[in-house]
Amino acid sequence: NFAERSEEQMSGAQVIAQALKTQDVEYIFGIVGIPVTEIAIAAQQLGIKYIGMRNEQAARSLPCCFWPRSHPCLGWYGKCKRELLVEACRLYTKFSARPSSIEAIPFVIEKVRYLRAVRTSIYGRPGACYVDIPADFVNLQVNVNSIKYMECCMSPPVSMAETSAVRMAASVIRNAKQPLLIIGKGAAYAHAEENIKKLVEQYKLPFLPTPMGKGVVPDNHPNCVGAARSRALQFADVIVLFGARLNWILHFGLPPRYQPDVKFIQVDICAEELGNNVKPAVTLLGDISAVSKQLLEELDKTAWEYPPESKWWKTLREKMKSNEAASKELASKKSLPMNYYTVFYHVQEQLPRDCFVVSEGANTMDIGRTVLQNYLPRHRLDAGTFRTMGVGLGFAIAAAMVAKDRSPGQRVICVEGDSAFGFSGMEVETICRYNLPIILLVVNNNGIYQGFDMNTWKETSKFRDPTAVVPPMCLLPNSHYEQIMTAFGGKGYFVETPEELQKSLRQSLADTTKPSLINIMIEPQATRKAQDFHWLTRSNM
Ligand code: ADP
Ligand code: MG
């Protein structure tokens, strides 16, 4: 009966949940408390999966890049100084807003704000949005019929580069003596793998992935010059940047890491990014998938390919060979405790090719990235641009949650330094609560960058003023992090030798029903192999 129906009430929380559902939101990662608990419950009633995390930092590390329609973070908070938060969030988000009045709830959430937040988060350069819902809105009752839900926003429109710029870029590439393609995470977000692989193979070009650009073209591709990274950057005369910023990870595009007159061809979806730090020879504004297709078509017009027997290829191959030999030699060292290379070589031997690799730490992340291979795009997640520690377990949980729904059996390996693990260690409880068969590797050197072995620790503590001078980089030696996993019902392993590592990893991979944590003791003073640029070893990513 219409008269009755029109009286039907629903809460602000239900309105919010329905608005999210209408925008195809499938997962919410959060931490509940008064009053946001109601929103989580309302979302669950609509079939949205709610994953309760233990720490806000981990909750915010969402699965932004796994699947085409997954949204970057949309945040909300219950109670705090709202005006301040909305303003503060402007700095870090693409869009930050708060409904202006209680009467505006349906309007703000349905028509403008939420829709806009979702759309803004996925259109153009993807990024986080913040919507502030005043606490008292959550339990407010509104008339069901007063609310109109907006349709789910359309997929992001695809933009292409200017034809004349594409022509110019093709000409610069054809005239390059020492070309290099850099494949960044923008190429992964754009799902440009097929076109970029064609560019690499058809024109015989060397390429270098950035940390999260790994896997767009497989790491074991013969044209991947990751093992000669410094050399490739230093001597390239033309560099095509596919969705990678010239920030500190790429040494700002400046000498001495690059030639002073290197020509950059910058491909990016964000106009404001073009020309940052260096003046590019050509800028291609557009979606990488579309622009790389334009480049293919343009280069196809002549019979050109980059000569595979060039001096440049020879230099790169030689450097790759010697670098790979140096890592292998370190890896084959039989001395105990193990070094990073030994650990990662044994891990690499057993990793399934389709697994997600999540990683954070200092040397653990940097060295791990050079040894652990990615064969698929969007399968590596690490501390990224801001090098924020504490995001790894959140990433792993998100990846495992989505894998469970969409490709059961696909594994998530989370490689953590002992210090990095500490930032969000309590998320192990979350992993066990949702029974996600994540394999956590804690590469344990008893410290931050470097630590002390037990004997040195005991020896120095004898002379130490116990109240004052615990060395800042030291963590407690031989900590049994694996017991954090067993405390919640998962499997824990403490390993000190390559054999123990191999065995525990084999068992962990075989058990698809349970999470496990392998605490791997390594040489507390272990470092990376000698680098060409000592003054930048910490940022040689
Ligand atoms: P990396 O860490 O791999 O170097 P960055 O985060 O520094 O990656 O840069 C990624 C760049 O990719 C950003 O400048 C972003 O604007 C761009 N980008 C994101 N998605 C796309 C897309 N679909 N097409 C083109 N560029 C994109
Ligand atoms: Mg450490």
- Report which bound ligand comes closest to the CA of 520: 2
- In angstroms, the CA 213 to CA 200 distance is 14
Provide CB contacts within 8 A for 513, sequence distance 6+. 435, 437
- In angstroms, the CA 508 to CA 523 distance is 23
Q: Whose CA is nearest to atom 7 of ligand 1?
A: 245
Q: Which of 122, 185, 207, 239 to mutate to test the pocket of ligand 1 (most atoms within 8 A of CB)?
A: 185
Q: Whose CA is nearest to atom 4 of ligand 1?
A: 244
Q: Is the CB of 122 under 6 A from ligand 1?
A: no
Atom of ligand 1 nearest to the CA of 243: 12
DSSP state of 528: P
463 phi and psi angles, rounded to 5 deg:
-95, -5
CA 323 to ligand 2 centroid distance, Å: 24
Long-range CB contacts for residues 306-314, cutoff 8 Å, separation at least 24: 306/176, 306/179, 306/203, 306/204, 306/205, 307/204, 308/204, 310/177, 312/177, 312/178, 312/179, 312/206, 312/235, 313/206
CA 361 to ligand 1 centroid distance, Å: 23
Q: Is the CB of 244 under 6 A from ligand 1?
A: yes
- In angstroms, the CA 38 to CA 400 distance is 26
- In angstroms, the CA 434 to CA 490 distance is 11
Nearest CA among 344, 278, 256 for reference residue 532? 256
Q: Is the CB of 287 under 6 A from ligand 1?
A: yes
Give mean pLDDT in consecutive 10-residue pieces for the chain, a chain of 541 residues.
Answer: 67 87 85 86 94 80 38 49 67 70 50 57 82 81 82 86 98 98 96 98 98 97 97 98 95 96 98 96 98 98 96 98 95 95 98 97 93 97 85 94 92 97 97 97 95 88 70 93 98 98 98 97 87 54 36
- In angstroms, the CA 60 to CA 388 distance is 12
Which residue's entry shows tokens 């494949």? 183
CA 247 to ligand 1 centroid distance, Å: 12
- Report which bound ligand comes closest to the CA of 216: 1
pLDDT of residue 278: 96
- Report which bound ligand comes closest to the CA of 65: 1
Q: What is the pTM of this model?
A: 0.91
- How is residue 83 written in tokens? 């005006």
DSSP string computed for 435-500: T---EEEEEE-SEESEE--HHHHHHHHHHS-TTT---TTB--TT--THHHHHHTTSEEEEE-SHHH
- In angstroms, the CA 20 to CA 115 distance is 9
pLDDT of residue 97: 67
Q: Whose CA is nearest to atom 21 of ligand 1?
A: 186
CA 501 to ligand 2 centroid distance, Å: 18
DSSP string computed for 70-114: ----EE--SSS-HHHHHHHHHTTSSEEE--SSGGGHHIIIIIIHH
Q: Whose CA is nearest to atom 24 of ligand 1?
A: 287
Q: Is the CB of 288 under 6 A from ligand 1?
A: yes
Q: Is the CB of 268 under 6 A from ligand 1?
A: yes
CA 501 to ligand 1 centroid distance, Å: 36
CA 242 to ligand 1 centroid distance, Å: 7
- How is residue 470 written in tokens? 């615990």
How many C-beta atoms lie closer than 10 Å to residue 66's C-beta?
16
Q: Which of 195, 245, 369 to mutate to test the pocket of ligand 1 (most atoms within 8 A of CB)?
A: 245
- Report which bound ligand comes closest to the CA of 442: 2
pLDDT of residue 496: 98
Q: Is the CB of 273 under 6 A from ligand 1?
A: yes
DSSP string computed for 320-364: HHHHHHHHHHHHT---SSBPHHHHHHHHHHH--TT-EEEEESSHH
| CA 534 from centroid of its chain's CA atoms | 26
Which residue's entry shows tokens 């020309």? 275
Q: Is the CB of 243 under 6 A from ligand 1?
A: yes
Q: Is the CB of 189 under 6 A from ligand 1?
A: yes
- In angstroms, the CA 321 to CA 76 distance is 51
CA 260 to ligand 2 centroid distance, Å: 36
pLDDT of residue 153: 76
pLDDT of residue 110: 42
Q: Is the CB of 186 under 6 A from ligand 1?
A: yes
Atom of ligand 1 nearest to the CA of 209: 3
